[in-house]
């Protein structure tokens, strides 16, 4: 299974916020630390804010902070949120697809089970479990 860059970058952003509890971190600071495009990180931050995962403030001293403790944020839930509208395969899209095997495919069931197992495994861990430790 391959996660989108949106999810990859989103998880990295959350890891940075989790290692600096209570400190506001700007998107510019995140972009510099993670060496990722600021515009892309801004879109991800807006998504996380709309979902209630982060709180953002504009202006001097502004930035983002986590709204919940890292040990309360399950990785499976975060991946589900960041991957929403990004189905594993075409036939998982709402309304299905034009696949010639629709209705008689054994692969779809196997992929759905694998996806469920993958996310269930991530649900056993929290953001706190993956926060980088100082060296």
Express each pLDDT in 30-63 by its tens digit: 999 999 999 999 999 999 999 999 999 987 778 9
Q: Mean pLDDT throughout 6-35?
A: 94
Q: Which residues, other chains included, contact 16 with Cβ-Cβ below 8 Å and sequence gap of 6+?
A: 25, 30, 33, 34
Contact assessment for residue 3 and residue 83, using Cβ atoms and an 8 Å cutoff: yes
Give the pLDDT score at 71.
96
User: What backbone phi and psi angles, to 5 degrees, belong to 60?
Assistant: -60, 130
Distances from the Cα of 4 to the Cα of 86, 88, 100, 132, angstroms? 8, 10, 26, 21
CATH T-level assignment (fold) for domain 5-130: Arc Repressor Mutant, subunit A (1.10.10)
Q: Is the pLDDT of residue 128 over 70?
A: yes
Give the pLDDT score at 68.
94
pLDDT band for position 104 (cuts 50, 70, 90):
confident
Give the pLDDT score at 133.
77
Q: Is the pLDDT of residue 79 over 70?
A: yes
**End-to-end Cα, the chain, rounded Å:** 30
Count the Cβ atoms, other than its own, within 10 Å of residue 66. Answer: 20
* Per-domain residue ranges of the chain: 5-130
The mean predicted confidence, pLDDT, of the chain is 89
Q: Mean pLDDT throughout 70-91?
A: 88
């Amino acid at each position: 299974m391959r996660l989108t860059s949106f999810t990859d970058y989103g998880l990295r952003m959350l890891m940075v916020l989790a290692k600096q509890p209570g400190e506001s971190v700007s998107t510019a600071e995140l972009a510099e630390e993670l060496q990722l495009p600021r515009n892309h990180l801004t879109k991800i931050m807006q998504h996380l804010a709309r979902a209630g995962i982060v709180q953002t403030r504009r202006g001097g001293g502004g930035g983002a902070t986590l709204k919940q403790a890292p040990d309360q944020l399950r990785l499976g839930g975060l991946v589900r949120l960041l991957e929403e509208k990004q189905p594993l395969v075409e036939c998982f899209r709402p309304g299905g697809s034009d696949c010639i095997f629709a209705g008689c495919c054994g692969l779809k069931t196997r992929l759905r089970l694998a996806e469920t197992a993958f996310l269930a495994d991530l649900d056993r861990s929290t953001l706190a479990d993956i926060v980088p430790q100082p060296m």
